[in-house]
Amino acid sequence: MRLFTAVYPSPESLDHLDGALGGVGGAAVADPGAGLRWVPREQRHVTLAFHGDVPDGAVDGYVDTLAEAVAGVRSFDLALAGSGTFGGRTLWVGLGGDVHALRSLARHTDEVADETGVPGADRASGRPHLTVARASASVVGADRARERRRRRRGEPEGVPTSPFGRWSRALSVYRGPLWTVGEVLVVSSRLGEGRAGGPAHAVVARVPLRGHLD
């Protein structure tokens, strides 16, 4: 089972982000063009740890130990804020609010993975983010080729080439509303089985934090 552990923004936060994306891109939000793919709204998350392939028999032990480890962790507030790209191929939105608490939660998750023998790669200790869209290598390569031709012709150098350059610049000052992180989700990901050939996600377990016991 391909697995990751994450926290998810509130519906209100996603509504606010959708409004900002629509203000920047208009019709491109619905139809970004060939080689570009928006992450479906229901899959937008902040990864705490990516585990890769985990034996089915190890999942219950990981979830139980994670629940014990975070039982005393208080709920905290985050906000989507700022934006950028990774290598020109991934458009992301950053985090504001209690990012220190988020990083601490990611460390707990990574420690639990190590304790239970589950693979783990801490994804929130460096630059925690929510991925919004991805571009194919061919799209990024074509943009870079156009920039090289500009330089050979002696034309002024343009901004760094990326299909998401305009988006990341416009969203660099973005800040959404605060939402309360009250639970951690353990999620399975089946590659190629989702919308438009993307992954299909399914919640394996919901692990509540202290102060968020519904």
* CATH at 67: 3.90.1140.10
Q: Closest Cα partner for 98 from 209, 208, 8, 178?
A: 178
Domain range for 8 is 2-208
pLDDT band at 154 (very low <50, low <70, confident <90, very high): low
- CB atoms < 10 A from the CB of 8, how many? 20
Query: Burial, 36: exposed, middle or buried (Cβ in 10 Å; 0-12, 13-18, 19+)?
Result: middle
Please give the model's pTM, rounded to 2 decimal places.
0.83
Establish if 88 belongs to a structural domain: yes
143 assigned to some structural domain? yes
Position 162 pLDDT exceeds 70: no
Residues 6+ apart with CB under 8 A from 20: 171, 174, 176
Is residue 200 in a domain? yes
Q: Tell me the average pLDDT across 41-52.
A: 94
- How many whole angstroms separate alpha carbon 108 and alpha carbon 78? 18
The C-alpha atoms of residue 176 and residue 78 are separated, in whole angstroms, by: 9
Residue 83 lies in a domain: yes
CA distance 31 to 28: 5
Cα–Cα distance between 25 and 167 in angstroms, integer? 8
Residues 172, 153 contacting (CB under 8 angstroms) = no
Please identify which residue in the block is written with the tokens 């202290």. Answer: 210
Banded model confidence at residue 211, pLDDT cuts 50, 70, 90: low
Residue 31, pLDDT score = 56
Instruction: Write out the catalytic residue numbers.
Output: 45, 129
**Cα dihedral across residues 160, 162, 163, 166: positive or negative:** negative
What is the reported pLDDT for 191? 82
Q: Is residue 155 part of a domain?
A: yes
Confidence (pLDDT) at 142? 47
| 213 found inside a domain | no
- Of the candidates 172, 111, 167, the one whose C-alpha atom is nearest the C-alpha of residue 134 is 167
Task: State the pLDDT at residue 24.
Answer: 80
Domain count for the chain: 1
Question: In angstroms, rounded to a whole number, what is the distance separating the alpha carbons of residues 212 and 131?
Answer: 26
